[in-house]
């Protein structure tokens, strides 16, 4: 997927996925229901890793299929989702899968207002709740920064750049206080407008192939570092 096709694909996700979820299954509990049943529990000694997120996570497997070829890397991104929706499916799509490690990438769709008004504190509290639930279940956590955005094509003129910086600072501090890894995609991908560098995105929000190359390198390094400590 490149150019206009990529932009069109992500705009469809952003515009229609939230409406489908709200009308039929708000948290989209059924989205991965069959896949979760088929996946089952980890094998003895398996370090299963779950990626929890929105369209940025979901589309990752299309751009970097090698990352998810191994059964141990489980993609549980759903396009258009906000953090309240992720909390609603957290048990079935994360806890019940018994991963060793969870990677959370969430919050940008809250700022875009995909499921209505929400404050930065409410968004960060939702993410903190996911971290707490994971830690209580004995799951290691990598807490990712939100990617930079200058403007959302489907929700223009919200001035998200500084809001994302504010949210990331909260997440970074929370990670430090709880001795978990903070994975900083933002610094490697931001431009001088506090948006996403044009070489890494076709719509200013979602990574393209080059953007995912950066993210894949960073997340692989983070995974190795976290697992090496156990």
Tens of pLDDT, residue by residue, the chain (230 residues): 455 555 445 555 554 444 444 557 899 999 999 999 999 999 999 999 999 999 999 999 999 888 888 769 999 999 999 999 999 999 999 999 999 999 999 999 999 999 999 999 999 999 999 999 999 999 999 999 999 999 999 999 999 999 999 999 999 999 999 999 999 999 999 999 999 999 999 999 999 999 999 999 999 999 999 999 87
| Predicted pLDDT of residue 18 | 47
For residue 82, the model assigns a pLDDT of: 98
What pLDDT sits at residue 121? Answer: 98
Question: Which of 53, 61, 153, 51 has the alpha carbon at shortest distance from 97?
Answer: 51
- How deeply is 168 buried, as exposed, middle or buried, from its count of CB atoms within 10 A (0-12, 13-18, 19+)? buried
Residue-level pLDDT at 3: 53
pTM, two decimals, is: 0.89
Q: Can you tell me the distance from the alpha carbon of 191 to that of 178, in angstroms, rounded to the nearest whole number?
A: 30
- Say which CATH architecture domain 3-228 belongs to: 3-Layer(aba) Sandwich (3.40)
Classify burial at 62, counting beta carbons within 10 Å of its beta carbon; exposed 0-12, middle 13-18, buried 19 or more: middle
Q: Give backbone dihedrals phi and psi of 202, rounded to 5 degrees, phi first.
A: -100, -15
pLDDT for residue 65: 85
Q: What pLDDT does residue 16 have? A: 44
Tokens coding 10: 């992500």
> What is the 3 state secondary structure string of the chain?
CCHHHHHHHHHHHHHHHHHHHHHHCCCCCCCCHHHHHHHCCCCCCCCCEEEEECHHHHCHHHHCHHHHCCCCEEEEECCCCCHHHHHHCHHHHCHHHCCCEEEEECCHHHHCCCCCCCCHHHHHHHHHHHHHHHHHCCCEEEEECCCCCCCECCECCCCHHHHHHHHHHHHHHHHHHCCCEEECCHHHHECCCCCECHHHECCCCCECHHHHHHHHHHHHHHHHHHHHCC
Q: What are the tokens at 221?
A: 């390094």
């Amino acid at each position: 997927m490149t150019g206009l096709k990529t932009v069109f694909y992500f705009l469809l996700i952003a515009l229609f996925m939230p409406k489908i979820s709200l009308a039929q299954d708000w948290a989209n509990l059924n989205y991965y229901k069959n896949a979760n049943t088929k996946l089952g529990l980890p094998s003895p000694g398996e370090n299963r890793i779950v990626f929890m997120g929105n369209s940025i996570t979901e589309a990752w497997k299309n751009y970097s299929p090698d990352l998810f070829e191994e059964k141990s890397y489980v993609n549980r991104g759903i396009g258009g989702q906000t953090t309240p929706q992720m909390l609603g499916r957290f048990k079935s799509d994360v806890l019940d899968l018994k991963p060793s490690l969870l990677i959370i990438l969430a919050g940008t769709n809250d700022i875009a207002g995909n499921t209505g008004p929400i404050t930065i504190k409410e968004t960060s509290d939702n993410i903190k709740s996911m971290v707490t639930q994971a830690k209580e279940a004995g799951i290691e956590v990598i807490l990712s920064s939100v990617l930079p955005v200058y403007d959302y094509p489907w929700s223009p003129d919200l001035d998200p750049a500084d809001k994302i910086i504010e949210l990331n600072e909260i997440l970074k501090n929370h990670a430090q206080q709880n001795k978990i890894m903070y994975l900083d995609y933002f610094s490697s991908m931001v431009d001088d407008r506090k948006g996403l560098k044009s070489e890494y995105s076709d719509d200013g929000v979602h990574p393209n192939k080059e953007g995912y190359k950066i993210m894949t390198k960073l997340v692989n390094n983070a995974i190795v570092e976290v697992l090496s400590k156990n």
